[in-house]
Amino acid sequence: MTTEQIRTEAPTRTGWAAYGREWKLVPGRALYLILAFALAMTAVSVLAGLFWTGVGLLILIVGLPIIMLSLFVARGFGLADRYLLLLTGLPEIAEPEWDREVTRSEGFWATISRPLRNGHYWTYLLHGMIVSPIVSTVTFALTTVWLSVSLGGLTFWFWGAFIPRGDGTGEWGQYVSAAMPWLFGGWSSFTVEVTLYLIAGVIFAVTLPWVMSGLARFQYLIARGLLGRWASDDLAAEARAEAAARTSAVQAESAGLRRLERDIHDGPQQRLVRLQLDLAALERRAAAGDTEAAAELAREAQGHAKAALDELRALSSGVAPPLLQDRGLAAALAGVAAASALPVSLDIDPAVDAAVPAEVARTVYFVIAELITNAVKHAGASAATLKVSLRPGETPPMLDVWVVDNGRGGAHMVPGHGLEGLRDRIAGLRGVLVVDSPLGGPTAVGVHIPLASTIAAAPATA
């Protein structure tokens, strides 16, 4: 086979494959177009009755609740239409923002009347009461025509023989043969009808996938515009996510500061107070000439000073470890693994140093250090694995961190305890913390944090 033959046959194969895929979707699309018509007729009868009754009774108190009821019913019909669209094989229409959150500052009437102030309810009402009935009537008529002509034309040779016929006079096949004797001269009326029906059936059957696709896509585009998400929905969801992340970050920071204050008070502060008392006693012993007691107090003071310094270093490492600032996240996590009381296998993508911002790196370092400490103290593990990788192909790119230990398992979120605090820290970065810890182990804790899209190219330039 020559190169030119391959080039000409490849598009042909692709075209036939696409045509075959369209044929596979014909039953679902035809079923949707028929069911959508029945749904639209039901919707217009219910919604029109409810809505216009509410409008007519607006002068009374009961009118507004009836209109609100019609909005909720319209939402139900719209959801049903969206789910029926799944039969067509087209992408699912994204769920709109229904403004489900209720704030305490809103009064009773403001709360129950929120559907009246949500544009999605009104577009669902418009779709169910006006747009869908009109569009569905047209698409249903074309669907039934194409299906009936395709099936009826291809099978008329069989079922047409059972239709009672006269002597042939007055039948439309006779008129066609008389009008075109050069083509159908001498043919019987039934033979002409079978031939023409078969030609029409073949034409309509061949074009059936394209017609069903066009009608379904027409319905889909209208539904996506009236029943789907708006750009403002994404902005509102983004604003709520930012607010939730900010709240989680503030709560995690507040808890961290309280814990740091408690640790300083219980550790270095007590040792420094003891050091102050020892130095005062040392001064008195030195003034009295008791050199041996003074030397003993000096040694004790030196021990307290060293212990206080070690505790301050340990506390500072949980806030901003020097290794993280000097050599990056990969080296800092390797240092945590090396200092751990149990062996930790490392699988760290070196690109994380260039890709992960400083604020994310600090949180990841703290979370990993805490998870490895928990594996030692609470899980009774004898080994652990730390895996850090990037997913740069997504938007935004993601940082994935997994800590897996072979301990006893059974770890779960408890309000006010360790894992809950770690989850708040991760939530402050719009990330999630996943815990999979069946009884008997192993325990796998995953941290998934979205990174800014501006750093997607950072690994390539590192």
The pTM score is 0.58
85 secondary structure, DSSP code: G
Segment of 98-102, 174-178, 360-364 carrying the highest mean pLDDT: 360-364
Nearest-angstrom CA–CA distance, 367 and 373 = 10
Long-range contacts of 156-162 (CB under 8 A, 24+ apart): 156/193, 156/194, 156/197, 156/198, 156/201, 157/194, 157/197, 157/198, 160/190, 160/193, 160/194, 160/197, 161/190
pLDDT(408) > 70? yes
In the three-class reduction of DSSP (H, G, I as helix; E, B as strand; rest coil), residue 440 is classed as coil
pLDDT(271) > 70? no
Higher pLDDT: 162 or 246? It is 162
Angle of helix 268-288 relative to helix 291-317, nearest 10 degrees, comes to 160
Which stretch of 234-238, 337-341, 380-384 has the lowest confidence by average pLDDT?
234-238
pLDDT(462) > 50? no
Mean pLDDT for the stretch of residues 352-357: 81
Q: What is the pLDDT of residue 46?
A: 94
- Cα separation values, 298 from 246, 276, 307, Å: 49, 11, 14
Question: What are the pLDDT digits (tens) for 107-135?
Answer: 556 666 777 888 889 999 999 999 999 99
Mean pLDDT for the stretch of residues 169-198: 67
Grade residue 103 by pLDDT with cuts at 50, 70 and 90. Answer: very low
Nearest-angstrom CA–CA distance, 158 and 152 = 10
Mean pLDDT for the stretch of residues 286-309: 71
Instruction: Decide: residue 176, CB within 10 A, 0-12 exposed, 13-18 middle, 19+ buried.
Output: middle
Question: What are the pLDDT digits (tens) for 52-94?
Answer: 998 888 887 788 888 888 999 999 999 999 999 999 999 999 8
Strands ordered across the beta sheet of 443-450: 344-348, 384-391, 398-405, 443-450, 432-436
Give the up-direction half-sphere exposure of residue 436: CA atoms within 13 A in the CB hemisphere: 7
